[in-house]
């Protein structure tokens, strides 16, 4: 790892001085900062970055994305943007949805103002590494008082034949009293034995009075070792509803966090995860209440097959002074193999008296009574098991705004079940 490689990349991309300086400052801090703390997940020896920063070539196996039809959509394969579509009406209203470097040219002051406001570069070793080495990304900006009812889609594909690090930075800014419905995918294209790494940061800035619905499905491949951080900064009377599907095939550690900065701010985090094979997935889902009467709820459901490992850490932290705050969490894991491993760890940190907080956690196998009920109605065992699993995970899946994606998530689960 050298500063020269970062400087060369930054100059090639004509980055502004403030970003170049931020990269180099972050590089200097990488070695001195600790790794993020993910309870009960031993990831310290994972390869989460080899100190290279480069652009990828266009893959020869790009699907025909034009079949998706019209809509607000940005598609990237590796570091390259292959499709960008924004309805004229949204463009006239000042909405921007484009790749990171185009946004630097179109709305430079906004990008500079909000970049790394939710995830600070010096939080830990991996956030510093990301800031120094991210090589592509996207920006969605919705001005004050603009409402977008239909889904805006960000689709980001990792090319399985490429060893270029998949280091994405996604920045979403919801203006005051705006409404956004956003759908995000991270997915691997093709099957290859090429080992790759991913370091992904998604920042969502919900300004006062804004409402953000954020849905995502992650399907990175078995040869991709991933660190992903999604973080919301939520101001007065604003809200973010997260519905996140963690369906990767490789080893993953994930931070899904909401900082309730404003009074009466609100965050709902719904996470569904499936681990199979020998993969390890560790998910930290955290809500920090800073504002008075702020509300943060966490709901995590997971399924483990074969020798998979899944860890849910649910963290609720009410800061001193956050009177009337509410922090609730529930983490439940369904194990479909006696060789699977799981942890569901509720953590409450309460620094204020006039608050409400609670947690629930459970790990178990399919309820025999549920199976007996279904099979007594003529349903075979395999179908009955699938129905139980779908019902268990349905609380999150139903929150995905696009039916095709909901169906895809169910199909992914069925695919994992078929491999047993």
- Of the candidates 30, 186, 194, 13, the residue with the CA atom closest to the CA atom of residue 123: 30
Q: What is the CA radius of gyration of the chain?
A: 21
Separation of alpha carbons 296 and 288, rounded Å: 8
Which tokens hold the place of 161?
């034949």
Q: Are 262 and 238 in contact (CB under 8 A)?
A: yes
How much is the pLDDT for 308? Answer: 93
**Tokens 């790749």 identify what position?**
99
Give the residue carrying structure tokens 């007594």.
376
pLDDT of residue 1: 62
Paired residues of 358 in beta bridges: 328
pLDDT per 10-residue tile (average), the chain, 420 residues: 91 97 97 94 93 87 79 95 95 98 98 98 97 98 96 95 95 98 94 92 98 95 97 98 94 98 97 93 97 97 92 97 97 90 94 95 87 89 84 82 80 78
pLDDT of residue 115: 98
Residue-level length of the chain: 420
Distance from C-alpha of 258 to C-alpha of 268, rounded to nearest angstrom: 9
**What's the pLDDT at 394?**
83
Question: Taking a C-beta distance cutoff of 8 angstroms, is the pair 96, 102 a contact?
Answer: no
Phi-psi region of 209 (alpha: psi -120 to 50; beta: other; left: phi over 0): left
E strands, 290-340, where? 295-304, 309-318, 326-335
Amino acid 420: pLDDT: 66
pLDDT of 344 reads 94
DSSP H or E run through 137:
strand 136-142
Which residues are CB-neighbours of 374 under 8 A, at least 6 positions away? Answer: 383, 384, 387, 388
**Angle at 308 (CA atoms; ends 281, 167), nearest 5 degrees:** 30
Q: How many CA atoms lie within 13 A of 351 on its CB side?
A: 12
H helix count then E strand count, the chain = 9, 19
Hey, what are 30's tokens? 């990488």
CA–CA separation, 398 vs 268, rounded Å? 14
Alpha carbon distance 295, 313 (integer Å): 19
Which is nearest to 216 in space by CA: 178, 176, 259, 168? 168
Distance CA 328, CA 330 (A): 7
Cβ contacts of residue 363 below 8 Å, gap of 6+? 332, 333, 335, 342, 343, 344
DSSP 8-state code for residue 20:
H
């Amino acid at each position: 790892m050298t500063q020269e490689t970062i400087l060369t990349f930054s100059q090639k991309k004509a980055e502004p001085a403030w970003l170049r300086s931020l990269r180099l400052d972050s590089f200097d801090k990488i070695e001195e900062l600790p790794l993020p703390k993910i309870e009960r997940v031993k990831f310290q020896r994972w390869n989460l970055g080899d100190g290279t920063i480069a652009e990828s070539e266009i893959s020869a196996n790009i699907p025909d994305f034009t079949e998706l039809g019209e809509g607000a959509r940005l598609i990237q394969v590796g570091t390259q943007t292959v499709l960008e579509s924004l309805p004229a009406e949204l463009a006239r209203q000042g909405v921007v949805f484009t790749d990171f470097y185009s946004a630097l040219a179109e709305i430079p002051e906004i990008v500079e103002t909000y970049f790394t406001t939710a995830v600070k570069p010096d939080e830990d070793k991996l956030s510093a590494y990301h800031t120094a080495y991210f090589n592509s990304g996207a920006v969605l900006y919705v001005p004050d008082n603009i409402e977008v009812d239909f889904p805006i889609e960000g689709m980001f594909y990792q090319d399985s034949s490429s060893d270029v690090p998949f280091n994405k930075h996604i920045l979403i800014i919801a203006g005051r009293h705006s409404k956004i419905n956003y759908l995000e995918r991270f997915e691997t294209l093709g099957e290859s034995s090429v080992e790759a790494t991913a370091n992904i940061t998604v920042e969502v800035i919900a300004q006062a009075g804004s409402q953000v619905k954020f849905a995502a499905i992650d399907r990175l491949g078995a040869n991709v070792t991933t660190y992903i951080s999604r973080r919301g900064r939520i101001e007065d009377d604003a809200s973010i509803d997260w519905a996140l599907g963690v369906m990767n095939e490789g080893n993953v550690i994930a931070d899904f966090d909401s900082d309730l900065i404003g009074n009466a701010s609100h965050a709902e985090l719904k996470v569904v995860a499936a681990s199979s094979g020998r993969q390890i997935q560790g998910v930290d889902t955290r809500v920090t209440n800073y504002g008075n009467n702020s509300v943060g709820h966490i709901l995590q459901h997971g399924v483990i097959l074969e020798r998979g490992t899944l860890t849910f850490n649910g963290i609720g932290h009410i800061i001193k002074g956050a009177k009337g705050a509410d922090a609730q969490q529930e983490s439940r894991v369904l194990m479909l193999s006696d060789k699977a491993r799981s942890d569901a760890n509720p953590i409450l940190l309460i620094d204020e008296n006039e608050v409400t907080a609670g947690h629930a956690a459970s790990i178990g196998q399919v309820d025999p009574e549920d199976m007996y009920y279904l099979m007594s109605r003529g349903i075979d065992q395999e179908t009955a098991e699938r129905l139980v699993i779908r019902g268990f995970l349905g609380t999150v899946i139903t929150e995905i705004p696009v039916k095709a994606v909901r169906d895809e998530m169910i199909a992914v689960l069925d695919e994992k079940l078929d491999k047993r």
